[in-house]
Structure 1
Amino acid sequence: MLSTGIKITSKILQHSTLAVVCSFSLMVNASELKFEDQQKLHDIANNVSASRIGHDIQTLVNFGTRHTLSDTKSDTRGIGAARRWIKKEFEKISAQCGGCLEVIEVKDTISGEKRIPNPVEVVNIVAIQRGISEPNRMVMMSGDIDSRVSNVMDFTSDSPGANDNASGVAGVIEAARVLSKYKFNGSVVYAALSGEEQGLFGGKILTAYAQKHNWQVHGVLNNDMIGNITGINGVTDNTTARIFSEGTRVVETKKQANTRRFTGGEVDSASRNLARYIDTIADKYIPNLNTILVYRLDRFGRGGHHRPFNDAGFAAVRIMETNEHYDRQHQDLRTEDGIEYGDTIEGVDFDYTAKLTSLNAVAMASMAWAPAPPKEVEIKGAVTANTSFSWQETSDENIAGYKIYWRYTSEPQWQFSKYVGKVSKYTLKNVVIDNYYFGVASVNKQGIESPVVFPGDVGSFDHNIK
């Protein structure tokens, strides 16, 4: 994001850009390119507690192992004890906000799989904070309950899973503590998922549940390892985080792919623009945090629990640390040649986990307060000097108007914007469609914006687009 006015250095660029500025009397500056500042979002970021997160991570570690196939009867060891504790924490939070959370178990029995050969009940613990005006519009933060050691089928050995992924679950619980003190237009979902290490089964189960109940899921923020600041590469860094997002939807039809070939959008899926939205939140509200937009579904050749949501067409991203330490992932607890292996709590930085939790909490609050992203966004402008937009009219009283964004096609973030009021169509004069990528965001009366929607099916936040 730009922090000052644009300085023109090229005469050719100067003439082109000034033509745009003169046509609209646009002032391309920080106020145009950034969200309007919201003190309540700063307050949310500041209310996240590193000490509470540390306590929760230690509690999860103390269950010994949280392997999907581990003990479900014990009150002190295994995944059963862990998920019952998580459920009680959500219920405690709900009691403090007058029952504002619906705490449910979303589960199914899995068997006949390579990593789950015998029948096992995979149970997700989910808390839903319903929106006051759009209860079926959802933004979700998720983390994985289960842990593992070197042998993925070893469900008896100690497997603390402090960073992978007690850090993510602790972040989800802490986000619920902070956000439950507010009321939102849309709903916020806090999900502790099971079965990730055995095949992403918890995510598959919750995705199916969301589809069955017609949830309008406009963002899944999957947090998987948000506590480590020292990588296997020797780098120690608590000022950056990665946001992974897929490009085109895996459910894209042949017809949609052919349209995209001629109109663009390979880097403007709903997931990709969700990632840009979170990146903007980091710039605005999270001090000393630079988020890195990674144009890939996940790490090279690897996977995470956002993928089942992507597979269904939902906008979903993975948020995580920048520098991983592989000696602390999926390892038996041991010391060899002076090297300590295992995912223990000593490898977790609570302040860093709190910082990434703040990012999630603020992003979800912003999306839940903002109106829904515009629907049926269309664009026209071939062989003309102007670019025209249209989108679905709405009676949503939360919407004050709309904002059009555009950027050069080689740029990762939106560069230019214009607020156009509460209309359903608009034309940017003398802005040639061939030279930019465009999108439209909804804006509420307090100036809080939705994610930007790229025109056409490729950018729609409606996962049922066919």
Structure 2
Amino acid sequence: MNKFGIMRKLMNAKILIRKPSLIIILLILGALACSLTAEPPPTLPPRTPQVQATLTPQNPLVPQQPVVTTDVKGGLDNNLGPTSPPPALPTSVAVITFDSPNMTSELQQVDPNRLYNTVTALVRFQNRHTLGLPNPDTGIFAARDFLMAQLYQIQVDNPQSRISIESQPYTFPYAGQSYTAENPVMIINGTDPTAGIVIIGAHYDTVNANAITNAYLDQPGANDNASGVAAVLEIARILAQRPHRASIILIFFSGEEFGRYGSLAYIEDYLVRFGMTQNVRAMINLDTIGSSSGPNGTFVNNAIRVYSAPPNESPSRQLARLAEFTVRYFLTDIRVTVENQLDRAGRWGDHQSFSDAGMPAIRLIEYAEEANKFHNTLDNLDEIDPDYLRRTTQVALSLALVLADGPNPPTDIRIDTSQSPWRIEWTPSAGATRYVVALRKSDSLTFQQELIAPTNSFAHSVLQSFDVVAVAAIDANNQVGPFSAEVYLPASVAAAN
């Protein structure tokens, strides 16, 4: 029996004792409740698993194709409909530049070879069907054990970090029977109780559309969704190396293909039960992000789509705008197109579970999607472009770093129209040295103008050319944080009425 097989038998026999769910939740609640001046809780000792799975080394990978430098389809459309172009930037307003050493260093750590190795390991389990029975070598329980071993290894490699790991069991009904499945979870406890919780997730289950209830048909699921799982695991390895202001939950959902059972169970059994939904700053769902090839020979390796719940002012849509803004300033070889939908027509994802429960949530998905290669054996390793998967992973990581490390945004933006030009002001954010003022027309899915404000107020005629404003803080390390809730400027409010 190989190393993986021994480890899986040990876990199925419950020789590996998991930490109780309640302990992990209490750790997060304690971190959120403590003050910034209090002594930090002691570092949690790493727990060494009985057996650790390792990835099989492979030859270094090279990009399948050069990065496309022209816009796809004549340009990425980020507007709800026809809109007037933004006004020219006044020369008296500072142009935004960022040089964040932490973000630059950590984004460069994303390794396409390691990502591809993880996808390969998951494909080798033949399928990851949620209705499957425990098996040491194939199926979803074998995949669960592999993921748990990888998470334990991250914990062992980073004893300085306060990391908690568990696999959350839940039951769900299907076709008149009750089934049990699990969601592997890693929590990196944050240092600032005011920074909230950032959740990064991907579903690891698969289904074969030829017989969706057959748990034993071959279904590699390389792109849908071993690609997203590999990205979350890679992000976990990088984020675990140092503390972050926000607590970060990295989770692998089962049951997504049958109706989001895993994400619904996690929300109900953990976030709702312990009153944590209001602390969730964002949920980032990575689902099908590894292929640059589309139908009819199309090829797009410099773009990714983001879906979010409408309307255009919703917290989820505002999170999607933050993703587009972040990538535009911190990554040079990929861009985000914000879609005006919750998901593709007739489709769903685990982000929907979170936005339905009132939490900001988005789905990242590749730009060139080939529908006839999902839920069948065509979804194999041939579909994975390792360097494109590196870029899409960097998109999610860059957003996570802004959410988890940046200063808190202002919460009380005030608009003074009694003088010309108009002025906006706000209470200073802790740790902020300057601010980003972002503006858009009401019908734009993205910000159309970003300006630097050196203090907690900004006055300029440019304000009267837009409808919506939001403000983000920047700290002394040049780390930008999330934007405030968007505020409509008075002229737009009057026009809307």
Contiguous gaps of at least 5 residues in structure 1: 1-12, 249-266, 334-341, 458-466
Gaps of 5+ in 2: 1-83, 489-497
Cα distance in 2 for partners of 1:323, 1:67 equals 26
Name the amino acid aligned to 2:150: E
For residues 136 and 331 of structure 2, the distance between their equivalents in structure 1, rounded to whole angstroms, comes to 38
1:388 is displaced (CA, Å) by 5.1
Question: Residue 245 and residue 368 in structure 1: after superposition, are their counterparts in 2 closer, same or farther (change >3 A)?
Answer: same
Q: In 1, distance between residues paired with 2:336 and 2:460?
A: 34
Counterparts of residues 191-210 of structure 1 (less than 5 Å): 191-208=251-268, 209-210=270-271
1:318 alignment counterpart: 363
- Identify which of 82, 103, 108 aligns with 1:41: 103
CA distance in structure 2 between the aligned counterparts of 1:291 and 1:360, rounded to whole angstroms? 11
Partner of 2:308: 245
**Alpha-carbon distance change, 268 to 442 in structure 1, aligned in 2, over 3 angstroms:** farther
> Any idea what SS the aligned residue of 1:89 has?
helix
Contact (CA 8 Å) 1:69, 1:120: kept in 2 or not?
Answer: yes
Does 2:86 correspond to 1:55?
no
Identify if the C-alpha distance between structure 1 residues 386 and 135 changes in structure 2 by more than 3 Å, giving closer, same or farther.
closer
Q: Is the contact between residue 152 and residue 197 of structure 1 (CA under 8 Å) also seen in structure 2?
A: no
Correspondence for 1:164: 224
Question: Contact 1:270 / 1:453 at 8 angstroms: preserved in 2?
Answer: no
The residue that corresponds to 1:214 in the other structure is: 276
Matched, 1:269 2:305: no
> SS in structure 2 opposite 1:306?
helix
- Partners of 1:405 and 1:439 within 8 A in 2: yes
For the aligned residues, what is the CA RMSD?
Answer: 2.7
- CA distance in structure 2 between the aligned counterparts of 1:145 and 1:122, rounded to whole angstroms: 11
Contact 2:203/2:254, CA 8 A, preserved across alignment: yes
Residue of 44, 64, 68 corresponding to 2:130: 68
Distance 1:285 1:158, change over 3 A: same
Once residues 283 and 390 of structure 1 are traced to their aligned partners in structure 2, the CA distance between those partners, rounded to angstroms, is 26
- Name the CA shift for 1:375/1:121 in 2 (closer, same or farther; >3 Å): farther
1:435 & 1:175 partners in 2: Cα distance?
A: 36
Q: Aligned letter for 2:93?
A: M
1:368 corresponding residue in structure 2? 404
Question: Contact 1:141 / 1:172 at 8 angstroms: preserved in 2?
Answer: yes
- Contact 1:269–1:454 (CA<8 Å) still a contact in 2? no
The 2-side partners of 1:455 and 1:240 are apart by 26
1:442 to 469, 473, 478: 473
The alpha-carbon deviation at position 420 of structure 1 amounts to: 4.7
**Change beyond 3 A, Cα 1:110–1:328:** same
CA deviations 1:167-200 (Å, max 9, x no partner) are 1001111111122122211122211111100101
1:225 aligns with 2:259: no
Which of the residues 374, 380, 383 maps onto 1:347? 383
Partner residue of 2:214 out of 115, 130, 154: 154
Q: How far, CA to CA, are the matches of 1:219 and 1:420 in structure 2?
A: 27
Q: Provide the residue aligned with 2:31 in structure 1.
A: none
Q: What amino acid does structure 2 have at the position aligned with 1:88?
A: A
Show the counterpart of 2:297: 234
Which of the numbers 439, 447, 452 marks the counterpart of 2:483? 452
Partner of 1:26: 92
- Residue 315 of structure 2 corresponds to residue 281 of structure 1: no
- CA deviation vs aligned residue, 1:362-414 (integer Å, no higher than 9, x gap): 22122211023333545564x875545465676x4x33454432234444323
Alignment of 1:74-223 (within 5 A): 74-98=135-159, 100=161, 101-111=163-173, 115=174, 117-134=176-193, 137-150=196-209, 151-208=211-268, 209-211=270-272, 212-214=274-276, 216-223=279-286
Q: CA deviation at 1:27?
A: 2.3
Counterparts of 1:355-434 in structure 2, within 5 Å, are 355-377=391-413, 379=415, 381=417, 385=420, 387=422, 389=424, 396=430, 398-411=431-444, 412-421=446-455, 423=456, 426=457, 428=459, 430=461
User: CA offset at residue 140 of structure 1?
Assistant: 2.0
| Contact preservation (8 Å) 1:106, 1:125 | yes
Secondary structure in 2 matching 1:233: helix
Q: Between the two proteins, what is the percent identity of the paired residues?
A: 25
- Give the conservation status (yes or no) of the 8 Å contact 2:436–2:450: no
Q: Deviations over 1:225-275 (max 9, x none)?
A: 011111123202211111112233xxxxxxxxxxxxxxxxxx233222222
Q: SS at the partner of 2:481?
A: coil
**How far apart are the structure 1 equivalents of 2:458 and 2:392?**
39
Q: Structure 1 length as normaliser, TM-score? A: 0.78
Q: CA deviation at 1:149?
A: 0.4
State the secondary structure of the residue aligned to 1:146.
coil
Is the contact made by 1:385 and 1:432 (CA closer than 8 Å) also made in structure 2?
Answer: no
Q: In structure 2, do the counterparts of structure 1 residues 17 and 50 end up closer, same or farther at CA, with 3 Å as the change threshold?
A: closer
Write the distance in 1 (CA, Å) between the matches of 2:345 and 2:359: 21
Residues 378 and 456, structure 1, Cα contact 8 Å, conserved in 2: no
Is 1:296 the counterpart of 2:341? The answer is yes
Cα deviation for residue 135 of structure 1 reads: 7.7
Q: Structure 1 residues 51, 414: CA separation in 2 closer, same or farther (over 3 Å shift)?
A: same
Kept in 1, the 8 Å contact 2:198–2:282? The answer is: yes
CA contact (8 A) 1:372 1:450 kept: yes
For 1:226, the aligned partner's letter is I
SS in 2 for 1:450: strand
Distance 1:136 1:155 in 2: 41
For 2:416 and 2:127, locate their aligned partners in 1 and report how far apart those are by CA, in whole Å: 56
Deviation string, structure 1 residues 308-350 (Cα, Å, up to 9, x no partner): 111112111111111112221012x3xxxxxxxx211121112
